[in-house]
Amino acid sequence: MIDAIKTMLSHHISGLPVIDQDGALIGILSDGDFIRRVEVGTEKRRGRWLAMLAGTNQVALDFARQHGRKVSQIMSPDPITVEEDTSLEQVVQLMESHGVTRFPVMRDKKLVGWSRARIS
Protein backbone atom coordinates (compact mmCIF):
# COMPACT_ATOMS: atom_id res chain seq x y z
CA MET A 1 0.00 0.00 0.00
CA ILE A 2 2.87 2.39 0.76
CA ASP A 3 4.24 1.90 -2.77
CA ALA A 4 0.84 2.81 -4.23
CA ILE A 5 0.69 5.98 -2.12
CA LYS A 6 4.21 6.96 -3.16
CA THR A 7 3.37 6.36 -6.83
CA MET A 8 0.25 8.47 -6.63
CA LEU A 9 2.03 11.30 -4.82
CA SER A 10 5.15 11.32 -7.00
CA HIS A 11 3.12 11.38 -10.22
CA HIS A 12 0.42 13.75 -8.88
CA ILE A 13 -2.40 11.34 -9.69
CA SER A 14 -5.50 10.52 -7.70
CA GLY A 15 -6.15 6.96 -8.85
CA LEU A 16 -4.54 3.77 -10.08
CA PRO A 17 -5.88 0.70 -11.83
CA VAL A 18 -5.16 -2.55 -9.97
CA ILE A 19 -4.33 -5.56 -12.11
CA ASP A 20 -3.62 -9.19 -11.22
CA GLN A 21 -0.62 -11.32 -12.28
CA ASP A 22 -2.26 -12.04 -15.63
CA GLY A 23 -2.86 -8.35 -16.38
CA ALA A 24 -6.62 -8.53 -15.73
CA LEU A 25 -8.18 -5.46 -14.15
CA ILE A 26 -9.43 -6.32 -10.65
CA GLY A 27 -9.98 -2.92 -9.04
CA ILE A 28 -9.30 0.77 -8.74
CA LEU A 29 -7.38 2.48 -5.98
CA SER A 30 -8.26 6.14 -5.55
CA ASP A 31 -7.41 8.88 -3.12
CA GLY A 32 -10.91 8.42 -1.69
CA ASP A 33 -9.93 4.93 -0.55
CA PHE A 34 -7.45 6.52 1.84
CA ILE A 35 -9.87 9.01 3.37
CA ARG A 36 -11.67 6.86 5.93
CA ARG A 37 -8.69 5.47 7.81
CA VAL A 38 -8.16 4.57 11.46
CA GLU A 39 -4.64 6.02 11.43
CA VAL A 40 -5.90 9.55 10.85
CA GLY A 41 -9.14 9.28 12.85
CA THR A 42 -11.42 9.47 9.81
CA GLU A 43 -13.01 6.01 10.02
CA LYS A 44 -16.79 5.75 9.72
CA ARG A 45 -18.59 5.87 13.01
CA ARG A 46 -22.03 4.33 12.94
CA GLY A 47 -24.55 4.02 15.67
CA ARG A 48 -25.93 0.58 16.43
CA TRP A 49 -29.18 1.21 14.52
CA LEU A 50 -27.41 2.51 11.46
CA ALA A 51 -25.02 -0.46 11.53
CA MET A 52 -27.99 -2.82 11.68
CA LEU A 53 -29.62 -1.08 8.71
CA ALA A 54 -26.39 -1.17 6.72
CA GLY A 55 -26.08 -4.90 7.32
CA THR A 56 -23.24 -7.01 8.63
CA ASN A 57 -21.62 -7.45 5.22
CA GLN A 58 -21.31 -3.69 4.68
CA VAL A 59 -20.06 -3.10 8.23
CA ALA A 60 -17.44 -5.84 7.77
CA LEU A 61 -16.37 -4.42 4.40
CA ASP A 62 -16.06 -0.91 5.87
CA PHE A 63 -13.97 -2.26 8.77
CA ALA A 64 -11.63 -4.14 6.43
CA ARG A 65 -11.14 -1.09 4.22
CA GLN A 66 -10.52 1.22 7.19
CA HIS A 67 -7.99 -1.13 8.80
CA GLY A 68 -6.50 -2.72 5.66
CA ARG A 69 -2.80 -2.65 4.99
CA LYS A 70 -2.81 -3.97 1.43
CA VAL A 71 -4.14 -2.47 -1.80
CA SER A 72 -6.44 -5.47 -2.24
CA GLN A 73 -8.09 -4.68 1.10
CA ILE A 74 -8.92 -1.04 0.38
CA MET A 75 -9.36 -0.81 -3.40
CA SER A 76 -12.75 -0.62 -5.05
CA PRO A 77 -13.15 -4.06 -6.67
CA ASP A 78 -14.83 -4.86 -9.99
CA PRO A 79 -14.78 -1.34 -11.40
CA ILE A 80 -17.15 -0.15 -14.08
CA THR A 81 -15.24 0.04 -17.34
CA VAL A 82 -15.73 1.55 -20.78
CA GLU A 83 -14.53 0.39 -24.17
CA GLU A 84 -12.21 2.61 -26.18
CA ASP A 85 -14.99 3.39 -28.66
CA THR A 86 -17.49 4.48 -25.97
CA SER A 87 -18.81 7.95 -26.79
CA LEU A 88 -17.97 10.89 -24.57
CA GLU A 89 -21.69 11.36 -23.94
CA GLN A 90 -21.98 7.79 -22.63
CA VAL A 91 -18.92 8.25 -20.40
CA VAL A 92 -20.40 11.43 -18.89
CA GLN A 93 -23.74 9.68 -18.31
CA LEU A 94 -21.98 6.79 -16.56
CA MET A 95 -19.96 9.19 -14.41
CA GLU A 96 -23.09 11.06 -13.36
CA SER A 97 -25.21 7.97 -12.75
CA HIS A 98 -22.53 6.16 -10.72
CA GLY A 99 -21.02 9.18 -8.98
CA VAL A 100 -17.47 8.44 -10.13
CA THR A 101 -14.87 10.50 -11.96
CA ARG A 102 -12.75 7.83 -13.62
CA PHE A 103 -13.15 4.68 -15.69
CA PRO A 104 -10.61 2.19 -16.94
CA VAL A 105 -10.67 2.04 -20.75
CA MET A 106 -10.58 -1.52 -22.07
CA ARG A 107 -9.91 -3.32 -25.35
CA ASP A 108 -10.56 -7.06 -25.47
CA LYS A 109 -10.58 -7.25 -21.65
CA LYS A 110 -7.18 -5.54 -21.43
CA LEU A 111 -6.55 -2.15 -19.89
CA VAL A 112 -5.51 0.36 -22.56
CA GLY A 113 -6.23 3.70 -20.90
CA TRP A 114 -7.95 5.80 -18.32
CA SER A 115 -10.90 8.17 -18.68
CA ARG A 116 -11.04 10.84 -16.01
CA ALA A 117 -13.14 13.95 -15.52
CA ARG A 118 -11.53 17.01 -14.03
CA ILE A 119 -13.86 18.70 -11.61
CA SER A 120 -13.10 22.40 -11.21
Is the pLDDT confidence value at 95 over 60?
yes
Residues 54 and 28 in one domain: yes
* CA-to-CA dists, residue 83 to 45, 51, 87, angstroms: 38, 37, 9
Query: Same domain, yes or no, for 32 and 70?
Result: yes
- 44 and 90, same domain (yes or no): no
Q: Is the pLDDT of residue 25 over 70?
A: yes
Query: For the chain, what is the mean pLDDT?
Result: 76
Long-range contacts of residues 95-100, Cβ cutoff 8 Å, at least 24 apart: none
Q: Is 39 helix (H, G, I), strand (E, B) or coil?
A: helix
Q: Which domain holds residue 86?
A: 80-120
For residue 33, pLDDT beyond 80:
no
| Residue 47 sits in the same domain as residue 101 | no
Most confident of 3-7, 46-50, 79-83: 79-83
Shared-domain flag, residues 43 and 64: yes
The answer to whether residues 3 and 53 belong to one domain is yes
92 shares a domain with 50: no
Q: How far apart are CA 39 and CA 16, in angstroms?
A: 22
Do 5 and 51 reside in the same domain of the chain? yes
pTM higher than 0.75:
no
- Are both 27 and 74 inside the same structural domain? yes
Same domain, 72 and 84: no
Count how many domains the chain has.
2
Distance CA 40, CA 27 (A): 24
Q: Rounded to whole angstroms, what are the CA distances from 9 to 15, 30, 82?
A: 10, 12, 26
CATH number (domain holding residue 16): 3.10.580
| Residue 28 contacts residue 4 (beta carbons within 8 Å) | no
Please tell me whether residues 16 and 30 are part of one structural domain: yes
Based on the fold, state whether residues 64 and 9 are members of the same structural domain. yes
